[in-house]
Amino acid sequence: MNPALPSPAHSNGLGLLAQHGEPAASVEIDGLVLGYRGRPVLQGLDWRLQPGQVVGLLGRNGAGKTTLLEALLGLRDPQAGEVRLFGQPAARLDDAARARIGYVPQANNLFEELRAGELLAYFRSFYPRWNEAKVQALLKRWQVPLDVEIGRLSGGQQQRLAIIRALAHEPDLLVLDEPVASLDPLARRDFLRELVEQVLDRGTTVVFSTHILSDLERVAFNVAFLQGGRIALQAPLDALLDEALVVSGPEPLLDRLPDAAVLARPPGRRLLRGLAEAQLPAGLVAQRASLEELFEVLT
Amino acid sequence: MDTPIQFQINTGSAEPIYRQLMDQLRRRVAAGQWKAGQELPSVRELALELAVHPMTISKAYSLLEAEGWLERRRGLPMVVAAGHARPAATRDRIEQLRPTLARAAAEARELGIPPERVLELFERLLHTPEPGAPR
């Protein structure tokens, strides 16, 4: 254990207290605006990630998940707004803060002409901390050959290598953009276990975008829904499943539901939170929602 | 030989994982399959085995402890609480099945399936050995 490191959060995910004078949040985003060629993508987005939280980021194709994660990492300049990581502006992170971040991008950014062993040796030189035992164990377990050029590895092998690279320096913040898209179900499960272990051992803050809802349901304690260029809702998933109701019925009846309880208004339905089924006017039908149904109405 | 304590979860349901774990434990204990004094896997072990966020496991364990199903012992694994050595009365166990069946009944009505066909299906399911459910 390195005493200079933030102590592992006891991952209660409910907003940890600042320790050792650190800011409370790993990520603070305020009023983020970002678009391409006049097409707005992020429109005044606010977001907080607390230390030790594992947050699943959900959104339709084209909603701007990758843009948001790239802006979060300081890889894109926003047109307005502010992004801070560990209390520092994301665009001007010092090396120490940079070394605390692990990133698995959606598109592979590995150097294709290098071999896996050369790539890892190269990255190792950048980081003050590097868990070689973990790297070796994962390479073996995930069967990534060290002596083949990366360009000749399969998509799944490249993705595993990208994950190993992102975990090797034991980051405090792990940003994963569709990290499992090319992995088979067993490799995905093994990857999720690795993530759970990071959370258990180090209290790592994780933000994770994926379309594989079953993975998200397992490891994400919190879910954030990206819609209309903002985080429409972020909440603990179990509380949402417990409390959210999808109510359907005639629009005039739906319109009489108290605004404070309405999370979303797709045609003919409302997503409610904080209202018991017994409190609903007659003529409306309520159903509890699965994550997939929440995804449908909230994104 | 005690029945080993193993949990299974289903993703994609409206039932959060912590409640699936709680329901399973209550059913197994009520049926007398998991007995007083049997040790639960640690939060760490179960989180890694199921690949589930550890807070989900600790939430289920804490709530089960508060309900008196589990006992915490300092520095030792949690155990099924005393007082659950024998299976609960059949009447109590039936009550535990009620919410699930009430939901199934409501769905059968919505689908307009006649009661005798529903019962026929249920009968068949009762006599089919449990498939290797996905974990």
Distance CA B132, CA B135 (A): 9
- Let me know whether B23 and B71 are in one domain: yes
Is the minimum CB–CB distance between B23 and chain A shorter than 8 Å?
no
Total domains present in chain B: 2
Q: What is the mean pLDDT of residues A266-284?
A: 88
The answer to whether residue A19 scores a pLDDT higher than 70 is no
Decide: helix, strand or coil at residue A228.
Answer: coil
Q: Residue A24: what pLDDT? A: 60
**Quick check: A218 and B12 CB within 8 A?**
no
Q: What is the mean pLDDT of residues A157-182?
A: 93
Distance from CA of A126 to the nearest CA of B (A): 31
- Let me know whether B59 and B96 are in one domain: no
Q: What are phi and psi of B73, to 5 degrees?
A: -125, 135
What is the domain partition of chain A in residue ranges? 27-228, 237-298
Average pLDDT taken over every residue of chain A: 88
Q: Residue A14: what pLDDT? A: 35
Closest residue in A to B11 (Cα) is A214
- Let me know whether B46 and B74 are in one domain: yes
- Whole domain around residue B60: which residue ranges? 17-80
Q: Residue A275: what pLDDT? A: 87
Query: Rounded to two decimals, what is the model's pTM?
Result: 0.82
Quote the ipTM score. 0.85
CB A191 within 8 A of CB A39: no
**Quick check: B11 and A217 CB within 8 A?**
yes
CATH number at residue B43: 1.10.10.10
Q: Residue B47: what pLDDT? A: 97
Q: Residue A111: what pLDDT? A: 83
Q: Residue A50: what pLDDT? A: 93
Residue A13: its chain B contacts at CB < 8 A? 55
Is the minimum CB–CB distance between B37 and chain A shorter than 8 Å?
no
Distance from CA of B1 to the nearest CA of A (A): 30
The answer to whether residue A165 scores a pLDDT higher than 70 is yes
Q: Which amino acid is at A154?
A: S
Decide: helix, strand or coil at residue B68.
Answer: coil
What top-level class would CATH report for the domain A27-228? alpha beta
Residues of chain A with pLDDT > 70, as a percent, come to 92
Residue B74: inside a domain: yes
Q: What does the block give as tokens for B40?
A: 């639960």
DSSP assignment of A166-195, as one string? HHHT--SEEEEESTTTT--HHHHHHHHHHH
Q: What does the block give as tokens for B55?
A: 């807070």
- Let me know whether B97 and B75 are in one domain: no
**Quick check: A238 and B54 CB within 8 A?**
no
The answer to whether residue A182 scores a pLDDT higher than 90 is no
- Let me know whether B50 and B26 are in one domain: yes
Weakly modelled stretches of chain B, pLDDT under 50: 132-135
- Let me know whether B75 and B26 are in one domain: yes
Distance CA B14, CA B31 (A): 25
Q: What is the mean pLDDT of residues A147-155?
A: 91
Q: Summarize pLDDT for A81-131 with one digit per residue, the tens.
A: 999 999 999 999 999 999 999 999 987 777 889 999 999 999 999 899 999
Q: Residue B1: what pLDDT? A: 66
The answer to whether residue A20 scores a pLDDT higher than 60 is no
- Let me know whether B71 and B36 are in one domain: yes
Instruction: Give residue B88's Cα distance to chain centre.
Output: 14
